[in-house]
Amino acid sequence: MLFLGVIREAEAEAEGWSIAGVSCAHVLIQAGWNVVVLEKSRKPLKGSPTGAGLSLDPLSQEFIGSWTGRPELLHDITCPLPIDLNQAIDNEKTRKALARDENFNHRAAHWATLHNHLFSALSPEIFLWGHLFLSFSVSNDKQSVKIKARVLDTGEATEVDGDLLIAADGCLSLIRNHLLPNVKPRYSSYCAWRGVFDFSGIEDSETIKNIREAHPELGKCLYLDLAPGNHTVLYEIPNKKLNWIWYLNQPEPDLQDNSVTAKVSDDMIQKMYQDAEKIWHPALVQLMRETKEPFLNAIYDCDPLERIVWDNVVLVGDAAHLTTPHNSRSTNMSILDAAVLGRCLEKWGWENLTAALEEYQSIRLPVASKQVLHARRVGRIKQGLTLPDCEPFNPNTATPEECKMLLQRSVPFFGHNPLLGSSDLLLAGER
């Protein structure tokens, strides 16, 4: 049995999709499959500064610990996030709490560190580095799949045959586009300025003192500040770093090179600082100003797919359910995809691959679809955009009932994700 995983080169804007690939490698190996992973990148991502922060729910933490056999190490490379706090900020830069959850029970990580943690627990021999995916084909009897790729170092074409193709090739998935050419990412009407501020060696600086004074629960709190038509996210990640995001409404940027990040000039960055000063607390603006290489991330999602399995080809991660990032679900959904797929393959065995993939689809498709649509709605609410059933949200006049939707806990299936089918349903709750 051979598993083929197609994983694109890691990029900062694509939270979590490559984690879907290495997660799938773990579960298939545990299920007794031989694994080959095709990777566009020419070398491992160890030590890569790419990516930003993410939060892991308790179930994802549990699965990662079981795959690597090092749950204590996962604890060491993450920070606690027990609090989810949404606040309104007015024209005077005064804040008031809108919604607070003190049982959030997530942990914060840096994308590159988490990817390396999962990658390092795999045998390096399973990776085919520097292989650019070109195409795939399924055999006439639907029993095998062939990948065509180009070896980047030599330019030669190569082929790899296997029993199963798992497409973990991200939000702009080439395999999804081949299977569903009419499905395109949908621009959300807003972008996000993002950055990671490294404060190692300057822990006592005025910048850090001011940001901690303004956000006294940093290190255990997911802060979301909302102003009309804007919101920010701020939280601490390991190794003395602060992850920040500012979502702002704007026309779709001109993107190039098959990317969801826009090239930014010094003038664009300076304008971002000036606009931020009009809305956000001075401590946060100073943090933005001192962050190296902030970048602009266009926010997309896809309408829920009607299927994520075709014969022996299966979509996972952002290829299967591209989502806006407002419910901390992208990475967690990718990890759960892998976990459910692995359990289905173990349950049915390789000789019943069709049944295993059908069960995977029946479990993950309805859950992911509801979570994608919920994240879309929450994003529009937080950005003050129109919705058919309610007036645009204003954080400074919102009622407590309106603010309930802001919490991560409002996401469908929060804390009780189905892991197996109805005949032997297993539900995972909060730990």
pLDDT string in tens for the chain (431-residue length): 455 554 443 333 333 337 999 999 999 999 999 999 988 888 876 555 556 889 999 999 999 999 999 999 999 999 999 999 999 999 889 999 999 999 999 999 998 899 999 999 999 999 999 999 899 999 999 989 999 999 999 999 999 999 999 999 988 899 999 999 999 999 999 999 999 999 999 999 999 999 999 999 999 999 999 999 999 999 999 999 999 999 999 999 888 766 788 878 999 999 999 999 999 999 999 999 999 999 999 999 999 999 999 999 999 999 999 999 998 899 999 999 999 999 999 999 989 999 999 999 999 999 999 999 999 999 999 999 999 998 999 999 999 999 999 999 999 999 877 776 544 444 444 43
Secondary structure of 259-290 in the HEC alphabet?
CCEECCCHHHHHHHHHHHHHHCCHHHHHHHHH
For residue 415, what pLDDT is reported?
A: 81
CA 350/CA 348 separation, integer angstroms: 7
What residue type is assigned to position 133 of the chain? F
Residues of the chain with CATH 3.50.50.60: 2-78+112-184+302-392+407-417
| Model pTM score | 0.92
Are residues 166 and 314 in contact, defined by beta-carbon separation less than 8 angstroms? yes
- Sequence-distant (≥ 6) Cβ neighbours of residue 171 within 8 angstroms: 14, 17, 185, 260, 300, 318, 319, 322
> First-to-last CA distance in the chain?
35
Whether 65 contacts 107, CB under 8 Å: no
Contacts of 117 (CB under 8 A, 6+ apart): 64, 68, 70, 73, 74, 77
Are 426 and 419 in contact by the 8 Å Cβ rule? The answer is yes
| Phi-psi region at 62: left, alpha or beta (left = phi > 0; alpha = psi -120 to 50) | alpha
117-169, pLDDT tens digit by residue? 999 999 999 999 999 989 999 999 998 999 999 999 999 999 999 999 999 99
Q: Tell me yes or no: is domain 2-78+112-184+302-392+407-417 CATH 3.20.130.10.
A: no
Which phi and psi (to 5°) does residue 366 adopt?
A: -65, -35
The string of pLDDT tens digits covering residues 32-58 is 999 999 888 888 765 555 568 899 999
| Amino acid at the residue 29 | I
Cα 202–72–338 angle (5° rounding)? 105
**Type of residue at 362:** S
Report whether 390 contacts 201 (CB < 8 A). no
